[in-house]
Amino acid sequence: MQKDIYFENIKIAYKSVKSQLLKTIITALIIAIGISCLVGMLTAVDAMKASLSGQFALLGANTFSIQNRGPNISIGKRGKKQKPYAAISFHQAQEFKNKFSSKSGLVSVSFIASGGAQASYKSKETNPNLAVWAADENYLETGGYELESGRDISESDVKNGGPVALIGQEILSSLFANKDPLGEIFEIGGNRFRVIGVLAPKGNSMGFGGDKSIFIPISRARSLFSRSNQSFSLNVMAIGPDMLDPLVSEATAEMRKIRHLNPIQENDFSITKSDSLSQTLIESLGFIQIAALLIAGITLFSAAIALMNIMLVSVTERTKEIGIRKAVGAKAKTIRLQFLTEATFICVLGGVCGILFGLAIGNSMAMLMSGTFIVPWDWMLLSIVICVFVGLLSGLYPAYKASRLDPIDALRYE
């Protein structure tokens, strides 16, 4: 009997929605916009988190970098801008590498030669958005890169400053489509390089990755791209994760000696572990989640008011219908349930549309930033729960008002 009442209320709710189609669509659309904001932004954030975790996992949990400044990661006004220290010179970087490589770690020296380079091969050109990295023979291993074909930069290449290069997948597809690039000569800013290796696909999530990168020997880069007061970066990879913390301490002491710091002076360089950098980025994305919740909350509050107004109008328009139902034995509880069901039905309808829009928007944003496709079941479930709650809250007063109508007065209402 109770099931029959529920099904009957759902039928009546459906008919009521059809009879007030325009009002229902407008209200459901407002709800859909709120849910789209919630699901869309949170889907994009989750996709970016997953992609970032994957990118930094490739570096491993046993690497750290030494630079003359921190990672400069901030979202909003709460982030602190890192003040750069004096540049780490090539002599200092090489001294550290020579002294430290004999310990329990592998060291590489590098710098970004160009952040907006353009490569060309015969009549073909890439977009001017390539990163040219000055690297030594250890850089690929300490940076978590792998070769798909060819060979790595060798000590001989670094020593002699050979015009050789490793290219990422985007350069491969733009310049050498359907052709083996190994041994081919291409140009970067008028400088000729021979392809000796192709990097395995790695992606370009939020600017990280090797698909848009070109690696050339650091000695060659110093002669072509080096700037005055150029600062060099050091990547250090421990034998295993358990060796990382002791190695960081040893690296700090060694770098302080090289930088001629006395015991009371603070470090004038920054040491960043790959896993802590990943965690910092992921925590920063939390601000976007808070913004999404606030936007969705404000939109859903507006939708709740609009829905309540529609339900009150519906009670007034259907006063006679309510009187007839009461006259044939419908209880006040049944009338309340009917209007609560209608309000919840409209909310869930808007919520489902919002979830679909949000998934499309969120994953589109993630794909634009080379993120991964993701279906956030937890946020989708939360959205449905929110829709049911908003429906019940919006329909509570109209349902109470409808259930309190006097059947005689309701039957006489015109």
* Sequence-distant (≥ 6) Cβ neighbours of residue 137 within 8 angstroms: 108, 152, 153, 154, 155, 157, 158
**154-203 pLDDT, tens digit each:** 999 999 999 999 999 999 999 998 889 999 999 998 899 999 999 988 75
Q: Quote the pLDDT of residue 57.
A: 47
Compute the CA torsion angle 21, 27, 32, 34 (nearest 10 deg).
180
Q: Quote the pLDDT of residue 166.
A: 95
Dihedrals φ, ψ of 191, to 5°?
-100, 130
**290-324 pLDDT, tens digit each:** 777 787 778 778 778 877 887 787 777 777 777 88
Angstrom CA distances, 62 to 65, 66, 136, 266, 280, stand at: 11, 14, 19, 25, 17
User: Which pTM value belongs to this model?
Assistant: 0.58
**361-399 pLDDT, tens digit each:** 877 776 666 556 677 788 788 888 888 888 888 888 888
Tokens describing residue 103: 């310990």
Tokens describing residue 50: 């997953």
24 vs 276, more confident: 24
Query: Facing residues of 237 across strands?
Result: 63, 106
Tokens describing residue 255: 């770098």
**241-289 pLDDT, tens digit each:** 677 788 888 889 999 999 989 888 898 888 887 665 556 665 666 677 7
What's the angle, vertex CA 349, arms to CA 346 and CA 352, rounded to 5? 150
C-alpha 30/C-alpha 26 separation (Å) is: 6
Residue the block writes with tokens 């919006």? 394
Q: Has residue 104 got a pLDDT over 70?
A: no
* Closest to 292 measured CA to CA, from 354, 368, 349, 353: 354
Three-class HEC string of 81-142: CCCCCCCCCHHHHHHHHHHHCCCCEEEEEEEEEEEEECEEECCEECCCCEEEEEECCCHHHH
Angstrom CA distances, 245 to 186, 241, 278, stand at: 42, 8, 17
**143-152 pLDDT, tens digit each:** 888 899 999 9
Compute the CA torsion angle 332, 335, 337, 342 (nearest 10 deg).
-160
The string of DSSP codes covering 355-401 is: HHHHHHHHHHHHHHTT------HHHHHHHHHHHHHHHHHHHHHHHHH
C-alpha 270/C-alpha 414 separation (Å) is: 79
Q: Quote the pLDDT of residue 109.
A: 93
- Give the rounded percent of residues in the chain with a pLDDT score beyond 90: 21
Rounded CA Rg of the chain: 32
Tokens describing residue 163: 């015009």
377 residue type, one letter = W
* Sequence-distant (≥ 6) Cβ neighbours of residue 337 within 8 angstroms: 5, 6, 9, 399
| Mean predicted lDDT score pLDDT of the chain | 80
Please answer whether residues 346 and 307 qualify as being in contact, where contact means their C-beta atoms are separated by less than 8 angstroms: yes
C-alpha 264/C-alpha 262 separation (Å) is: 6
Please answer whether residues 111 and 231 qualify as being in contact, where contact means their C-beta atoms are separated by less than 8 angstroms: yes
CA atoms within 13 A on the CB side of 402: 32
